[in-house]
Structure 1
Amino acid sequence: MGHFCPQGSRSPKPCPVGSFLPEPGAFSPSHCHDCPPGKYCFSPALSQPTGLCFAGFFCSGGADSPTPRANSSLFSCLHEILDVYATKTEAAFWIQNASCFNNSDDFESDLGWTEGVMLLQADSDHIVTHTPPCLKKPHYACSTYRGDICPRGFYCPIGSAYPQPCDAGSFCNQTGLDTTSGSCAEEYYCPKGSVDPHATLCPTGHYCPFGTPLPLPCPPGTIKSFLGGSTIKSCQLCPPGHYCHQSGRAEPSGQCAEGYYCPEGQSSERPQQHVCSAGHYCEKVSHPVLVLKLLSVITAESCM
């Protein structure tokens, strides 16, 4: 095991680093298996992998170190490998595009996004003897790609085969992480793969509490016309004379219907509790400012 013997051999020949061979009787170096994703094979002549890839790094297959590093010419390889895998599995997550795999600490260029892939996690109790077809290298230039330090926007627990996109609601602002850096800041939301706690300012019609993965809509009967906001108190009651029948509104849905009046906070055009009472008439309001002066009552006038 861990060796092969070509015809006429005087002694067994070891499988090279980055590979292993659990069966006896091999006669060709092609019988040596690449170290499986998530693991590394440190020395020659191994019958099984040495161990799991270290936290903060990922080992994509054939790794000979628990902390592999790719040179700059191979930064695009992970993108291509994940593209192939995503096509095979029909599973997708967000990953940064090839440009983001420049892992230098001062890398500050804008980060693009592209469809990525559900990530594999190495099984520490099971040895994979063959690289799955979906993980085959897409072209020769990437044949030496073995993994790298975890890039920004991702984290890599121990035994990672590929970097995992930062969880929605969290951010990953540096390389080499084995867990997320922290939660998204108030008044902002953080989609999967975010590198900044202030990833995206909360939009109108919504509020964003600490650590939210998505903006939360203001409820019916309220609006929010400004950006930011961290609690439901950021949502304002629908103005008098108007109704707001949908959640997540930045502006009122429309004016109160004739025959009804709408104090602030209404969600219906015809609120049944505000039917124009006997001895009064209620017409549509054309000047909301006038409504405010009339103490939130829509032109409800006494008939003489």
Structure 2
Amino acid sequence: MNKTRSLNTLPSLLTILVFCNTVAHGHTGHRRLLIDDNVPCPSGHYCPNGTSSPLPCPVGTYNNLMQQTSCRVCPAGYFCSVEALTIGSRCPIGYFCPTGASTPSPCKAGTYNALTGQSACITCPVGHLCPTGSTAPIPCKAGTYGTQTGQSICIACPVGYFCPTGSEAPKMCPAGTYSGNRTEQSTCYFCPAGWYCPHTTEIYHCPHDMYCPVGSVAPTMCPAGTFVSPTGQSCGPCPVGYYCPTGTSQPIPCPQGTYQNKSSGTSIAECISCPCGKYCSSTGLFQPTGYCSSGYYCTGGASSQRPTDGVTGDKCSIDHACPSGSCKQI
């Protein structure tokens, strides 16, 4: 009976002898560790000296080899979320996993991660925002801007400025444009015809004696020979029968006794005196009104068909004849 028990316990004694021989030669725990019945320590577990059964690798560690006395720390870029892992999981985009991570951590506000397997997140660039867990920088929307790196929000564009998508700083509206008295503008508007824009926030109506084409910074005087159109948007040529000095808002008619048969007159000197034998009865004429009446003569510049002033003409004397259109007495 005792002899039988001795034979049954022989494998266990051999295991102990092998283990002791291993210890004696300095090979503990990494290559030849066995548990009871010569079963090697499985992967995902570890078997310290004296262990009777394998222990699962704790959260944050793993073991991809058999016969190990300890587990390996989950490497950077991976996470080990449960026990007894043989391999960690790759960190997803928008997250980071430092060494020994048990769960992925979302990228903090102002950072992002576009790749898997990362141990740190990247700082958000200028002109962008990165909320928590960002997988890519988001350009600041139109009407906002971002001047610094690492921003999680963008700033509203101030009054008088404009901010296209992804702006790194507000841009001042150029001369001749305006943004209105509003924030968060993504573009500036050309000053409309008939108005001028000396500043970037307000527009002003063009004065009646000046003109303002689209994009005007200041009102402009119409040049000589032109006048301001009714809308104030442009200058038009001075009409026949009139003259227009610089800055004219309304054409000035040539006076009685004169006429003007060409457009774009610039001064009264261009009004033509009514020729002899004819008269010019009203202002703004482009030709004489007609011939002087019979019995009268017109020497030039007459405004009446029957002049009597003795300067532009007069009544014919009794001993002279003056047919219609006479320049002098006959």
- TM-score, normalization by structure 2: 0.43
Which is richer in helix? 1
Q: Which has the higher contact order (CA 8 A, sep 6+)?
A: 1
TM-score (norm 1): 0.46
Larger radius of gyration: 2
